[in-house]
A and B are shown apart, each in its own frame.
Chain A
Amino acid sequence: MAEQPLTRRNFLKGKTKPRPELDRLNPEWPTQRVAKLYRKFLEKQPPFYHPPISEEVAPPLTVTASLNSMRDVDWDQSAAVHLLGRTMFGSTYTDINNSTSDSLSNTVNTLLQELETAEPPGDWVNEPPPAWDQLTYDEVQAVMEQYRERMWQMANWWIVRMTQNPINITEQMSLFWHNFFATAQSKVFYPQAMYEQNAVFRQYGLGNFKELLRRVIFGPAMMIWLDIHRSKKHNPNENFSRELMELFTLGVDNYTQVDIEEASRAFTGYVTNGVETNYDYENQTGSWFWWDEWHDFEDKTVLGQTGPWTGDDIINILLEQEECAVHICRRIYKWFVYDYIHEPVVEAMAFVLRENDYELRPALEFLFNTEHFYDSNFRGANIQSPMSLLPGLVRKFGMEEFTYPEGFFLRSVEFLGMTPLEPPDVNGWTGYRSWINSITLPVRKLVNSALVTGFSPFGNFDFMVDVRSMAQTMYDSDDDGYASEQIVRKLALVLFGVPLSDILETKMLDILLDGAEPYDWSINAPIGDAQWNRMKDLLLYMIKLPEIQLS
């Protein structure tokens, strides 16, 4: 195979991509005039790449259904890799070691601890909307540019938080809820609204689901995204109630078309200007002119209950349904365990969720302690999402303190089909096997290689992984084997989701030693010694193997 010149079209080219973000714009948001300008503005931007949709399910194997807490003797390095790999971004060898010297239940508690509120990405997060009517054409253009900058600033801020996360689930939960309540910035338009929603995920994402649901639904972002905003009694918008039941609470087939139509009448009279809403969280009611004029105060019948329901009443009715907790736990299970659902485990978890009045923490704690969660079948069964793999590697390589070229993270994850703040649709990302195809797999390798080579299609950098420090955090004179043998084993433990086979271990050791004997490779070799280049070769080799895609 000869090397081929690259001269013609490439697959970054905008016209090769579908553009759902244009198709779903609201022609009146934030005003008719700005909406027209905004559409033109967006059309000039390159489109987003979204991965294909699939619902692929692997066949079941025999898995322990045991819901007992895992015994402490089984809490080993491999179990810690599994737990940390699913709940945080990029656990290092040190994290794994510290967690195993602690107990499972303490590690789970650490993961589920509440973190301090995050510093927002800018002081613009509460900025009121401009008076659009008074802005000239050029001023409108300038604001749109600025909003766009802020959206990307915030997305980057989020990814950097992931690369720097401690042993804690908060960032993972905020990504989980972003996928659950999938809302796209291109339609919402106001970065303030997107930030508000993200802050809700962070603040309520480990708390009570009912509170979280209310905060999300009546937040400006969701109101705009699913057109709750300005839905009126004579012409209510069905779409939101459908998604509320299908995706946010009950799951498909647990309601009727009539329930949707009736519930949509309750979600009328709620409005937002993009930053504030006419909804009062304390008193659970809308207000102002729009509420009085547009809300439907007549009786509605939803799931057999009749009354002059408001949006809050509908939420209460939906949360009374047994299916609701099951639906939420299914989504949690799919995200944290495996795409193929073991119903009895989900049912048990749903029971915990209901018993705790929708408090999320006890349900997660329950799951992460079960023997089921640690079944050897699930080790490495998670195909990492783009936003998990790259930020995770950065942290595993100890490279989280560097300042990366502008856009390195965002362009990479976007290319791989996961643009933060821009999910393909309200169903979120399909995930699982849809992440991997003949386009994304080679580009994943290319992007990850940048951490070792310093070259990336999305910007080069003048720093790279410090393999010597990395090796020294891994080596322990009390452990079995020469330093070279330990490094191979421990790198595989940290980087690969699946156990290391003997064949691969030999191959990796060959690359690391490059003809030398295992004892020739010294953990104390000076900086700049050629042996460290062999370790870079090894990392590059591992990055190009399928094993690294799994966690």
Chain B
Amino acid sequence: MKRRDFIKTSMVLSAFGKQLPLMAVGRNRRQLGRTSQWETDRVVILIKLNGGNDGLNTIIPIEDDIYYEARPTLAISPGQSLSVNDTTGFHPSLGPIYPFYQNGQVGIIQGVGYQQGNLSHFRSSDIWVTGSDANEHLLTGWLGRLFENEYPDFPDGVPEHPLAIQFNSANLLEFRTSESNVGMMVFDPETMYAIISGNYVPGEDDPAPESYGGDELAYIREIDTLSMEYSEVIYDSALAGINTMEYPDNNIGYQMALTSKLISGGLGTPVYRLYQPGYDTHANQANNHANLLQDVSGSIAAFLQDMANQDLQDRVMVVTTSEFGRRVYENGSFGTDHGTSAPCLFFGSNIVPDIFGNHPDLTNLNNNNNMQVQYDFRQIYSTLITDWFGLAESVAQNVFAQSFDSIPFVQEPLSVKPPVLPAHFKVHAAFPNPFNPTTVIGYTLPAAGNVNIRIVDSRGRLIQNNHLGPISKGHHTFRIEGKTWASGTYFAQVETGGTALTQKITLVK
């Protein structure tokens, strides 16, 4: 069989898609107004350099003799590098973004990572996408928690546009909420819409069983319905949007071009996660790494120019991340092995184009001979939440369950507004959830009143009844203590003025 026939089948796929009868779609989903504080139209495009980008060969410490000794075959000489300042050069493959650097649209944060860096790709990627500490295993993504905080009813209160778009192979965990996933996987909007609508049958309103099987069924149903709704709005945006630039003909170029088109076409999605694999350069790094950087910098350059041509440049910021950096010393296979910290780059017209932090001090390595961490990656994420999206610091604190100093890389931080009280009584998802042994549930009262919080187990038995008495109007939290309970699902029911709202919480011992 000729695998190139695979491409030809696409035509068959198209033709077949057309013949399928389009079923009427039951739009029984609620289109709620936004309940969130999310008021900005700013967008962040996160690019994962997957496999562990070699920071030292990206941002070159051209004055550091140890660097040149450690990398006899891989080091980039000062002459080859693109000059940034007396001690710093770019890898020559970053050429396409160099003019943007000179225009103040490129900044660097040095030494980004986390303490006790884990050298497993899988584990370290999970730490980055969940926003956990090295020794902490979270089941939800940092962006999932951010959106859950802002849209506590998701997926019931479905925003009109997807909250996040991920391209093929992005890590789903990053957008995982305690009950759902806010990321929409996108390939080609047009084909996607045709196939999704052609194969959709409206389900019946029968509740999924109370079991793991039921959980999985609910999950698939949700993808089914949300795909149907969102594929239409994404397709409309892609049709309306334009590209004014030619993008590099490669995978990351395609992702950037489509991102630009969706933004240009009016899609209101605030977060995009792009993905470029191949950075695990254990062997024969020189060429591979150069090609990767060439591809990604060419794509970013085209994107920045495209946005500027359409006067959208102030709304977008591009940030690169990677699960770790690489060792100082090259190995015997002309490559580098897994390390810890590495620089993150950020791009846009609305940034502070500085170098934050210093070149790694190669005379002061940690006890595994890896570079020290200068910035925790959550400082960047936290800054995006507060300064870029203009959400309160308490939101960032909720997302990471601790507070991180921000890094002033946003040129015009949005002023932080005090949280506006929603007009209705609300009970927010508990955090952490699943939990052990304590979790905190938040609720918002439209007016002062007596509050009862009841905890009921999955069989409906009352475990606790807390009469809290009169509580003032506004946002409050309640600590739930599960030390003496058995593992399992519980329901926290908050009742005031005759109305009770419930949140599912799960104790894992």
Contacts and interface: CB of A to CB of B under 8 A. Distances in A.
Interface of A: 1, 3-20, 22-24, 26-27, 44-46, 49-63, 148-149, 152, 156, 234-235, 237-239, 242, 246, 252, 257, 338, 340, 376-383, 406-407, 410-411, 414, 425, 427, 433-434, 436-439, 441-443, 445-446, 449, 455-459, 497-499, 501-504, 507, 541, 544-547, 549-550
A152 B1 contact: yes
Nearest to B273: A52
15 contacts: A1-B22, A1-B197, A4-B194, A13-B188, A45-B3, A51-B169, A59-B434, A381-B211, A437-B185, A438-B226, A442-B227, A446-B16, A446-B195, A446-B198, A504-B204
A62 B168 CA distance: 35
A432 B265 CA distance: 34
Contact of A501 (B206, B276, B506): B206
Interface string B137-154: 001000000000000000
A492 to B, nearest CB: 12
B487 to A, nearest CB: 6
Given A11-B187, A437-B185, A498 B169 contact: no
Contacts of A425: 121
Nearest to B24: A1
A439 B192 contact: yes
A381 B213 contact: yes
A13 B7 contact: yes
Interface stretch (B105-113, B216-224, B310-318, B395-403): B216-224
Given A1-B232, A54-B173, A12 B215 contact: no
Nearest to B225: A546
Q: Which of A6, A17, A257, A425 has the most CB of B within 10 A?
A: A6
Interface in B435-489: 458, 486-489
Contact of A442 (B7, B195, B254): B195
A46 B4 contact: yes
A59 B439 CA distance: 15
Contacts of B368: 257
B9 A457 contact: yes
Interface in B264-321: 275-278, 280, 282-284, 288
A54 B275 CA distance: 14
B206 A504 contact: yes
A52 B172 contact: yes
A58 B22 contact: no
A242 B120 CA distance: 9
Given A55-B126, A377-B212, A436 B223 contact: yes
Contact of A407 (B1, B205, B224, B230): B1
A27 B283 contact: yes
B17 A6 contact: yes
Interface in B174-229: 176, 178, 181, 184-188, 190-201, 203-217, 219-221, 223-224, 226-227
A366 B172 CA distance: 34
A410 B12 contact: no
Interface of A is mostly: loop
B13 A381 contact: no
Contacts of A502: 206
A17 B168 CA distance: 8
Given A237-B333, A503-B206, 17 more contacts: A1-B22, A12-B10, A20-B277, A24-B280, A44-B4, A55-B122, A55-B126, A59-B178, A61-B211, A380-B211, A380-B216, A380-B217, A381-B212, A433-B219, A438-B226, A498-B217, A546-B224
- 10 closest A-B pairs (Cβ-Cβ)? A380-B213, A54-B172, A457-B13, A235-B332, A11-B187, A6-B14, A381-B212, A59-B506, A438-B227, A546-B220
B200 A544 contact: yes
Contact of A439 (B185, B217, B251): B185
Contacts of B13: 10, 12, 457
B374 interface: no
Nearest to A9: B188
Contacts of A411: 6, 9
Nearest to A5: B18
Nearest to A551: B213
Q: Which of B16, B126, B254, B368 has the most CB of A within 10 A?
A: B16
A406 B1 contact: yes
Nearest to A45: B3
B251 A15 contact: yes
A348 to B, nearest CB: 17
A20 B50 CA distance: 10
Contacts of A18: 168-169, 251, 275-278
B257 to A, nearest CB: 10
Contacts of A434: 172
B3 A152 contact: yes
Contacts of A458: 9, 12
Given A45-B4, A60-B506, A438-B231, A16 B168 contact: yes
A11 B192 contact: yes
B508 interface: yes
Nearest to B287: A27
B171 interface: yes
B200 A442 contact: yes
Given A6-B194, A9-B190, A257-B368, A498 B209 contact: yes
Contacts of B282: 239
B216 A13 contact: no
A441 B223 contact: yes
Nearest to A22: B278
A288 B506 CA distance: 59
Contacts of B332: 234-235
B292 to A, nearest CB: 8
Contacts of A427: 122
B136 interface: no
A56 B144 CA distance: 12
A52 B14 contact: no
B275 to A, nearest CB: 7
A10 B191 contact: yes
A14 B7 contact: yes
Contacts of B25: 1
Given A16-B188, A45-B3, A52-B168, A23 B277 contact: yes
Contacts of B19: 455
Nearest to A459: B9
Given A60-B434, A60-B487, A11 B188 contact: yes
A61 B213 contact: no
B96 to A, nearest CB: 18
A22 B277 CA distance: 10
A546 B368 CA distance: 48
B188 A49 contact: no
Interface in B23-50: 25
Given A8-B190, A16-B251, A498 B231 contact: no
A498 B215 CA distance: 11
B123 A52 contact: no
Nearest to A433: B219
B204 A501 contact: yes
A369 B216 CA distance: 24
Contacts of A59: 139, 178, 215, 433-434, 489, 506, 508
A401 B12 CA distance: 25
Interface string B317-342: 00000000000000111000100000
Contacts of A10: 10, 13-14, 188, 190-191
A53 B125 contact: yes
B214 A52 contact: no
A10 B433 CA distance: 39
Contacts of A7: 14
Contacts of A376: 211, 213
B199 A53 contact: no
A438 B171 contact: no
A409 to B, nearest CB: 11
Contacts of B209: 380, 498-499
B339 to A, nearest CB: 12
Nearest to A340: B212
A388 B12 CA distance: 25
Nearest to B207: A501
